[in-house]
Amino acid sequence: VRERFERFLCVLSEMFDSDGAARLSAFDLVLRRKCIVLDAAAAQRHAIHADKHPELRHGFAQLSKLASEISRMVMDGPGSTALTAHQQQIAELRGRAARIEADLSSRIPEMRAIILRRKGTRNAVAASLPDQSALLEFVRVDAIKLLVGPGWAADRWYRPRYFCFVLLDGRPEDVQAIDLGDADEIDAAIASARKAMIEEGLQMGLPSRLALRSARQAIFDPIEKWLSGRKRLIVSPDGDLAILPF
């Protein structure tokens, strides 16, 4: 699934500068992947509760099976099935899962607090952002090879790279997608900044400031123009960006 996700993202990235629909499609895909990660975490919790409540194991097994099927259908897309029929099938599966969740949570008090009501859509995310804020959704893509496609003279190789998607509060149709470049170079800048901060601690001498400036130039300078007037940034890191003290 991850490889297919990264291939699709790289193909769309060639249209980021000129095609708003490509940016929206790519960002929607990123949100769907995040929902799948949440589904996996929920499955782990379901397994824990199944052990604590053996009489409900059948219900938890049904829920896990439905979650896997929903995730597979979302990532695979409609294929040869009509889009409306595909969406209807997913809606029916989600309805069945919601009913099972409701039944299980009514029998397990502690489960009520951890059932995720996921609304991973651009509209929902944009509406939930604070005023004058922006979401920075970073994605790291590993090295991949794309086979010859229409208009391509040869196969294409993509080195590891970072992308950043910028979503402003209340503006779900205005998503920016920025290719930040080589991930190995960015990871090296992050490692240098982290090493300098660890060695210098709170002193923050010249080496730390220079290392942090280099990391900022690689990560934030390419997206700064899209953040005018924003008073708050909500950062969703990926890869080595997760170790930076945002």
Contact, 16 vs 166, CB < 8 A?
no
Burial (CB count <10 Å: 0-12, 13-18, 19+), residue 130: exposed
Provide the pLDDT for residue 219: 92
Q: Is the pTM of this model over 0.75?
A: no
Give backbone dihedrals phi and psi of 8, rounded to 5 degrees, phi first. Answer: -60, -40
> Cα-Cα-Cα-Cα dihedral of 27, 29, 30, 31, to 10°?
90
The Cα 76–Cα 71 span in angstroms is 9
Provide the pLDDT for residue 244: 79
CA atoms within 13 A on the CB side of 93: 19
DSSP structural state of residue 141: E
Helix (H, G, I), strand (E, B) or coil at 216: helix
CA separation, residue 224 to residues 82, 164, 179, 192 (Å): 41, 11, 13, 22
Per-residue pLDDT of the chain (246 residues; tens, 9 = 90+): 566 777 778 878 878 888 888 899 888 888 877 765 555 555 556 556 566 778 878 887 888 788 788 777 766 777 788 878 887 888 888 888 878 877 876 776 555 544 434 455 788 888 888 899 999 999 988 877 665 556 555 556 678 889 999 999 999 998 999 999 899 899 988 888 888 877 776 667 777 788 888 888 999 999 999 998 899 999 988 888 887 776
The Cα 34–Cα 204 span in angstroms is 35
The Cα 36–Cα 67 span in angstroms is 9
- Sole residue written with tokens 């080195």: 159
> Cα-Cα-Cα-Cα dihedral of 212, 213, 217, 221, to 10°?
100
